[in-house]
Amino acid sequence: MKKFLDENFLLETVTAQTLYHEYAAGLPIVDYHCHLPPDQIAMDSNFQNLTQIWLYGDHYKWRAMRANGISEKYITGDASDWEKFEKWAETVPYTFRNPLYHWTHLELQRYFDIHEILSPATARKIYDECSEKLRTPEYSVRNLIKKMNVHSIGTTDDPLDDLSHHHKISSDGFSVKVLPSFRPDKAMNADNIAELNKYILQLAGISGQQISTFREYLSALKSRHDHFAARGCIVSDHGLEQIYCEEYTNAEIDQIFSKILAQQDLTYAERLKFKSCMLFTLALWDHEKGWVQQYHLGALRNNNSRLLSELGPDTGFDSIGDFSQAASLSRFLNKLDSGNQLAKTIIYNLNPADNEMIAAMCGNFQDGTVAGKVQFGSAWWFLDQKQGMIDQMNALSSMGLLSQFVGMLTDSRSFMSYPRHEYFRRILCNLIGNDVEKGELPNDIEWLGNMVANISYHNAKKYFNLG
C-alpha cells in the first residue's frame, strides 16, 4: 500500500516518476492568470494566521463547508478566525476524493513542512504552528511567492485600475514579474444599465474625457487599454457565458449607446449587438498590441438569489452552465481571422461536454505563424481537478498538439495555491508515463522529458514573450 501524499503521489509508474522528478519538479512557475490582490504584493503583507491566508475569499472551501452543514457564521460571518479554522478542520476529513483534500495537504507540506493530516484532533497544533510562521518575514507575501519558484504572475484587473500597485512592485525590483491583465467585463455589461452608467461616469473621470457618444466611450476605454500596455500588460481576459458575435451596424450601436446613457431598457437583441461590438473592438486592440486574449466561457453565475442578496457575488454560488458555444465562437474567430487580426487566443470552457468541441475549434484557426496560436485552455474552475485535467489533456491530445500546450495556471485568489502547478505536473507525467508502460509511446525519456518541461514551463514563457 502506498503512503498518502509521498514523493511519488499520483505517479503510478517508474516512467512517470522519472519524468516528474527529473524534468518537471524543479521548473519555475508561469502563473499567467490568477486573481491575486496586487496591493498585498506591493505592500509585501504578512498574514496574521492561517485562516486569513486560507479561508478569506476562498469560495471553494466555503462551498464544501456549507455542504458539510457548517453555519454561515463560521464561513463569511462574525466568528473568530480560530473558530472558522476549527470548522474548516472539521470539514476536511469529509472532503476526501474532492481536490480540496489533496490541495489542503499539499499546501501544508510545501509551505509549512507539515505532514500531519488536518482534522479536529490536529487543528489547534497546525493552526498555531502555521500562524506563527506566517507572522515572520520569511512568510511575507513576496517570500511565499518566491518560495514556490514563481517566475511571473498575471493578475486580473479592471480597466479603471490605476495600476499603482503594479508600478510599485516593479519599482521595488521584485524578482518575480507581476503583470496586469485587462479584464473589461464591466465595460460591456449591457445587462445592468444602472451599473454600466456608473462605470461610464467613472471612466470619464479617470480618462479625463467627455463621454456622450459611443465613439467617445471607445476613445476613453482605449486610453485605459494604452495605459495598461504602458504598465507592461500583455494579456486581456474575459469572463463570459458565451462569445457574442451578432451582426450590427455602427448606426445601431450609436442608437443603443444613446439608450444606455438615457437609462432606457435594452431589448435582448440590442444587448447582444452591443456586447458583440464591444468584444470585437477589444479583440482588434489586443491584436494591434500583440497581446494574448483569453476567453473563459460557460459559468452560470449567482444561482442562489437569497444568499446572493445576503453575501454578494463571488461567494460560492456559481456553477457550470450549458450554453451553446460552437456557432458564435466560430463566427467570432473567423471574423477576426478574415481580416488577419486574430491575436494569440486561449479559450477555456467550464462545461466538460464542450471539451472536444473547443479542442476541434482551436484547430480551425491555427495558421502556422505561431506554434499553438489558438490554445485550448487548461481545465478551469470546477474542472480544475484530477479527472478534469485528464479529460482536457485527452481532448487536446486527440484533436491538437498537447506538446504545444501552455499548461497550468492557478486562477486563484490565494497565495497558497501554487501547489496546483505541482498537482498538474504530476498528473501530466502520469498520463504520459502510463502511455509508455502500455506501449502507446516509445520509451524515449529524453524526448518525453523535454515535452513535459515545455508543457510545464517553457511553452508558456515563450507564448507570453516573458524572456
How far apart CA 452 and CA 429 sit, in angstroms, is 7
pLDDT on residue 196: 98
Question: Residue 428: how many CA atoms within 13 Å on its side-chain side?
Answer: 33
> Is the domain of 134 the same as that of 52?
yes
311: number of Cβ within 10 Å? 18
Q: How far apart (Å, rounded) are the C-alpha atoms in residues 182 and 292? A: 10
At CA 239, angle to CA 235 and CA 244, rounded to 5? 100
**Rounded to whole angstroms, how far apart are CA atoms 44 and 41?**
5
Which of 77, 106, 139 marks a domain boundary? 139
Please say whether the beta carbons of 239 and 296 come within 8 A. yes
The answer on 131 and 144 residing in a single domain is no
Q: 467 near 447, Cβ under 8 Å?
A: no
Is the same domain home to 445 and 345?
Answer: yes
Q: Which three cell numbers stand for residue 319?
A: 456553477
Query: What are the cell numbers at 365?
Result: 484557426
Angle between helices 326-338 and 268-289 (to 10 degrees): 40
Candidates 404, 354, 357; CA nearest to 382 is: 354
CB 44 within 8 A of CB 140: yes
| Cα 378 to Cα 135, 177, 264, 358, 389, distances in angstroms | 34, 21, 40, 11, 7
Query: What is the CB neighbour count within 10 angstroms for residue 309?
Result: 9
| pLDDT of the residue at 467 | 82
Q: Are residues 30 and 113 in the same domain?
A: no
Which amino acid, 450?
Answer: N
Core vs surface per residue 250-270: b (16+ CB within 10 A) or e:
eebbeebbebbbeeeebeeeb
**Is 29 domain-assigned?**
yes
Q: Are 211 and 217 within 8 A, CB to CB?
A: yes
- C-alpha cell read off for 45: 503583507
10 Å CB burial of residue 243 (0-12, 13-18, 19+) is: buried
Integer Cα distance of 311 and 318 in angstroms? 13
Are both 443 and 417 inside the same structural domain?
yes
> Does pTM top 0.85 for this prediction?
yes
Place of cell 501552455: 406
Q: Say whether both 165 and 273 belong to one domain.
A: yes
The residue out of 139, 161, 188 marking a domain boundary is: 139
Report yes or no on 6 lying in a domain: no
In this prediction, residue 218 carries a pLDDT of 98
Q: Is residue 2 part of a domain?
A: no
Torsion region of 34: left, alpha or beta (phi above 0 gives left; psi -120 to 50 gives alpha): beta
Amino acid in position 363: G
Helix (H, G, I), strand (E, B) or coil at 236: strand
- Residue 188 DSSP one-character state: G
CATH number, domain containing residue 106: 1.10.2020.10
Residues of the chain with pLDDT under 50: none
Write the pLDDT tens digit of every residue in 131-159.
999 999 999 999 999 999 999 999 999 99
29-45 per-position pLDDT tens digit? 999 999 999 999 999 99
Q: Are strands 319-320 and 29-31 parallel, antiparallel or unpaired?
A: unpaired
Q: Is residue 415 part of a domain?
A: yes
pLDDT given at position 446: 98
Q: Are residues 84 and 21 in the same domain?
A: no
CA dihedral 200, 202, 204, 207 (to 10 degrees): -130
CATH code of the domain containing 282 = 3.20.20.140
Structural domain of residue 85, as residue ranges? Answer: 46-139
Same domain, 121 and 268: no
Q: Which of residues 114, 139, 164 is at a domain's end?
A: 139
3-class SS of residue 213: coil
Rg (CA), the chain: 23
The predicted pLDDT at position 1 comes to 82
Q: Which residue has the cell 498538439?
A: 401
pLDDT at position 234, please?
A: 98
Rounded to whole angstroms, the Cα distance separating 78 from 196 reads 32
Closest Cα partner for 196 from 221, 176, 177?
221
Query: Are residues 347 and 292 in contact, defined by beta-carbon separation less than 8 angstroms?
Result: no
- Nearest C-alpha neighbor of 150 from the set 20, 52, 34: 34
Residue 9 falls within a domain, yes or no?
A: no
pLDDT at position 263 is 97
Could you tell me if 361 and 340 lie in one domain?
Answer: yes
Is 5 part of any domain? no
Specify the pLDDT at position 133: 98
First to last CA, the chain: 44
Establish if 346 belongs to a structural domain.
Answer: yes
User: Are 21 and 135 part of one and the same domain?
Assistant: no
The total of structural domains in the chain comes to 2
pLDDT for residue 47: 98
The answer to the question of residue 192 being in a domain is yes
Residues 400 and 284 in one domain: yes
70 lies in the same domain as 193: no
Q: Are 213 and 261 in contact (CB under 8 A)?
A: no
